[in-house]
Chains A and B, each alone.
Chain A
Amino acid sequence: MAKHHVAATVNGDEVEFLCETEETLLDVLRDTLHLTGSKEGCSSGDCGACSVTLDGRLVCSCLVLGCEVDGRKIDTIEGMAKGETLHPLQQKFLEQAALQCGICTPGFLVAAKSLLERNPNPSETEIRFWLAGNLCRCTGYDKIIKAVMETAGDMRRA
């Protein structure tokens, strides 16, 4: 069966690619577009390591098909920093040691950014529930939650 031709916007850039019907957006990002920042942890939408935003909506890219994103806008971890300037969340994660092995970090950053865009003043509970779709096995979440809370405060004051 012929591949699908897809044209989309990824991190602000226009891209075109061919993909099989069964290829997920995650497969396309990693294998075709060579954006390996989104990670594959489970392929069943349970770990959040593949988190991206699709037309501004937080999704697991392993649960989206490549051929579904024609004409749509995707934002991945690779688009979070602006040139040399890290996003405040990225900077805070570094300062607060909110990562250990780092495999879940791209997913958490994309998800946290998505939260703060909707809710600039989330409570600890709101942050924990928003991020419940992102698994971390190393940190116990403590420093991640603190980093998001502090960044929210910094961004509100900025």
Chain B
Amino acid sequence: MAETNGTTNGAVLDIPQTYVGTRTVRPDGVDKVTGRARFAADFNLPGQLVGRVLRSPHPHARIISIDTSKAQALPGVKAVITRDDFADQASELIPAGEMMMNYRDVVRNVMAREKVLYEGHAVAAVAATSVAVAKKALKLIDVKYEVLPHVIDVVEAMNPSAPVLHPDLFTAGVEPKPDKASNVAKRIEIAIGDIEAGFGKADVIVEREFNTAPVHQGYIEPHAALATVSEDGTAEVWVTTQGHFIVRAHCARLLGMDISKIRVTASEIGGGFGGKTVVYLEPLAVALSRKAKRPVKMVMSREEVFKASGPTSGANIRVKLGASKDGKFVAGYAELRYQAGAFPGSPVQPGVFCAFAPYDMENVKVVGYDVVSNRPKVAAYRAPGAPISEFAVESVVDEIAKKLDIDPVELRLQNAAREGTKAAYGPKFGPIGLTETLHAVEKTNHYTTPLQPWQGRGVASGFWFNIGGETCASLTVNEDGTVSLVAGTPDIGGLRASLAAVAADELGVPYEKVRPIIGDTGSIGFNFLTGGSRSCFSGAMAIVEAAKEIKADLCRRAAKLWDCKPEDVEFSHGAVRAKGAAAGKHTPMTVADCAKVAGKTGGPIGGTGRINAQGAGPSFGTHLVDVEVDPETGRVTILRYTVAQDAGRAIHPSYVEGQFQGGAVQGIGWALNEEYIYGKDGKLQNAGFLDYRMPVASDLPMIDAILVEVPNPRHPYGVRGVGETPIVPPMAAIANAIEQATGVRFTELPMSPPKVLKALRERGLNTREALRSGNGKNGHGKNGH
């Protein structure tokens, strides 16, 4: 296991940082602004076939039979696959996004076996010579279903009388083990201290129930893959994915192939946010190509993306928080019920861990339930589980602030977790930046700008744990002294720029001389996927290791060239230099100088970092938002938005800010408009961007990003992952702002115009008289709960 640069940044500070921390132009940028960059659907191979999927029209049904004979006979159809083309998989847990997933479930999600479990569930697939033939072929596949009653809502699915999806699913984590199958896959619990005693000491207690609807990651690029399998069984796949090594592993497993026989190239990726950490089309494309002996290209339509990929959980949450009259949180209790979709594996576990984690509390108990229901299997979505639980807790924290008449930022500061605070899920925090982000927000001009009637201001905090993980990255010094960098985690927005800056500073070469690529699975060792806010954190660590190898090698070569002892040679400030007994006797050699004589001094120069990056530190953030509520339409306008978040060390400030802003806006959409709307028939009614309403430019103001840096002592550059935390605070911050603007506490997401209007009407707040008399002016008025 490779060592990092120890627990201080001391070693790194010796390296002049010309590029790290600056706003370089990304090396992959020109192709992106000219349309030249190739995303998965942009690839084509001669002779390729069109692959299409037949999907279940029913939310829940037994498959009685599948007859593909007519489709197979249709001219132009070169292959048809069904469940018969995939061997059943034994129950085996694998890490997948944020919850362990079971291969037995993966094979069934990719292609239905005994049952279809959601509208859109894949039942068969064809490869044909044209779109028209493929569409016709799908219509010729005859599937006989026995339609079963369905259930979608999480609370309804937990009811003992609900239709049961899996006859062999018995709730884990419950003693004694239940003898009746249910939709509750798992019950989990964490507890510290004594909440009964804690609540007994509270001067004020707030208890609330919340409901959230499923939302989709909303990446603009649909899933797409192109696979070609040769007669000897070797396969090549081009795919848009957050983890091409994971795609390789899943395809190898599901299709019974050696891992080395599949080579996966990650195309440029048009957004993922966790939704592209699992497989849907890839095993189908490989299976079809294997059968047809021709390349098969598959692209999801937008409707398929909504119906057949993995939105996050809808949830029901109960939170109870108690505080003493001077504002100390004395006890916290929460119950989280999360939808997993068709198979077990919602992010309720991290939701449970995150719930009260930003606060220093002695008495906490959180219970979580993982519940299956007839909607697509949940996939990860940016800080999975945390936005939901923190929406609930941060809303209740705000109510405590109001009841005690304490400023909401001050209340959080008073209770904030700091270095050494024991988290409710066990370990003590190392150095963290929660209080710094709270202070940063307090100091803004935003915080004190006066508000008008029907306007309100809200604040909320949140965090994500962040991970490291297996990472390989290599640096090769070319004959002309330029450097080729190969990383193995797909670049979803700024990674290549960041790693090139690190490599340039480590080796003392100009930034423009470093060319980074994302290598395919055949050209670099295993890399865990891009997710968990890990790619820059781990990638930079691996590049530092690769650079160390090169620097050590260059010193050895120089020592031999200069006939001096190894201890009299060092690499510093971009060159190998003689020191000690040999000081001043030899002209320093830059990397380019060494490259010129590489062959003569032993061969090509390069280094590889192969690590399981540890030492990830959490990134805390605090968001501040001003809203204006239109009492006549129920529309909530975001007037002003500020994000303060701890990046540890921002390798590339622009792309770190970009994560803050992008995550905040996803949270705004989650708060105000986005939701999966199901009909009574269990079918999705808004499977398109018109009615699945994500924020557009005219909905938003500028998003002010404040970069806080509390270095992570475990990383050579002090980096903390930043990608996920920004989606955690927005919903509560906005709910808190709306409460201030209207006096109404919303406990259901999204807080869309019809819901806001209804709530205002029910409370008589938008009658002509009320509007005329200035009801709803900011501040906590007579329109209390």
Say yes or no: is B516 at the interface (Cβ < 8 Å to chain A).
no
- How near does chain B come to A109, taking the closest CB pair, in angstroms? 6
A-side contacts of B299, CB under 8 Å: 40
Decide: A140 near B688, CB < 8 A? Known: A36-B42, A99-B33, A104-B220. Answer: no
B-side contacts of A128, CB under 8 Å: 697-698, 700
B-side contacts of A102, CB under 8 Å: 32-33, 37, 268, 270, 493
Measured as residues with beta carbon below 8 angstroms from the partner, the interface class of chain B is: 35 or more
Distance of A5 Cα from B221 Cα, bound (Å): 31
Distance of A125 Cα from B664 Cα, bound (Å): 20
Measured as residues with beta carbon below 8 angstroms from the partner, the interface class of chain A is: 35 or more
Give 1 or 0 for each of B213-231: 1 = CB within 8 Å of chain A CB: 0000111111000000000
Say yes or no: is A77 at the interface (Cβ < 8 Å to chain B).
yes
**Contact B32–A142 (Cβ < 8 Å):** no
Distance of A41 Cα from B221 Cα, bound (Å): 6
* Most A CB within 10 A of own CB, among B33, B41, B493: B33
From 619 to 664 in chain B, residues with beta carbon under 8 angstroms from any chain A beta carbon are: 652, 654-655, 657-658, 661-664
The listed residue (A95, A101, A103, A132) touching B696 by CB distance below 8 A is: A132
A-side contacts of B696, CB under 8 Å: 131-135, 141
**Contact B688–A100 (Cβ < 8 Å):** no
Give 1 or 0 for each of A39-82: 1 = CB within 8 Å of chain B CB: 11111101101000000000000000000000000001110110
A-side contacts of B270, CB under 8 Å: 39, 41, 101-104
Decide: A146 near B38, CB < 8 A? Known: A41-B220, A138-B658. Answer: no
**Contact A142–B703 (Cβ < 8 Å):** yes
**Contact A46–B218 (Cβ < 8 Å):** no
B-side contacts of A94, CB under 8 Å: 25-26, 29-30, 33
Decide: A138 near B33, CB < 8 A? Known: A46-B690, A103-B270. Answer: no
Distance of A134 Cα from B702 Cα, bound (Å): 17
The listed residue (A41, A77, A104, A139) touching B302 by CB distance below 8 A is: A41
**Contact B658–A97 (Cβ < 8 Å):** yes
**Contact B35–A141 (Cβ < 8 Å):** no
Say yes or no: is A90 at the interface (Cβ < 8 Å to chain B).
yes
The listed residue (B271, B690, B694, B705) touching A101 by CB distance below 8 A is: B271
**Sample of 25 A–B contacts (CB below 8 Å):** A30-B41, A40-B41, A43-B301, A44-B302, A47-B220, A49-B220, A90-B33, A94-B25, A94-B26, A94-B29, A95-B25, A99-B33, A100-B662, A101-B220, A101-B271, A102-B32, A103-B220, A103-B221, A103-B270, A104-B220, A105-B32, A131-B696, A141-B665, A141-B700, A145-B697
Interface residues of chain B, those whose CB is within 8 Å of chain A, are 23, 25-26, 29-30, 32-39, 41-42, 132, 217-222, 268-271, 273, 299, 301-302, 492-494, 652, 654-655, 657-658, 661-666, 688-690, 694-700, 702-703, 705
Interface residues of chain A, those whose CB is within 8 Å of chain B, are 20, 30, 35-44, 46-47, 49, 76-78, 80-81, 86, 90, 93-97, 99-106, 109, 125, 127-129, 131-146
Using A41-B689, A90-B33, A100-B494 as known contacts, list a sample of 15 further A-B pairs with CB atoms less than 8 Å apart, ordered by residue number in A. Answer: A36-B38, A44-B302, A44-B689, A77-B35, A100-B493, A100-B655, A103-B39, A106-B35, A136-B220, A137-B217, A137-B218, A137-B220, A140-B700, A142-B661, A144-B697
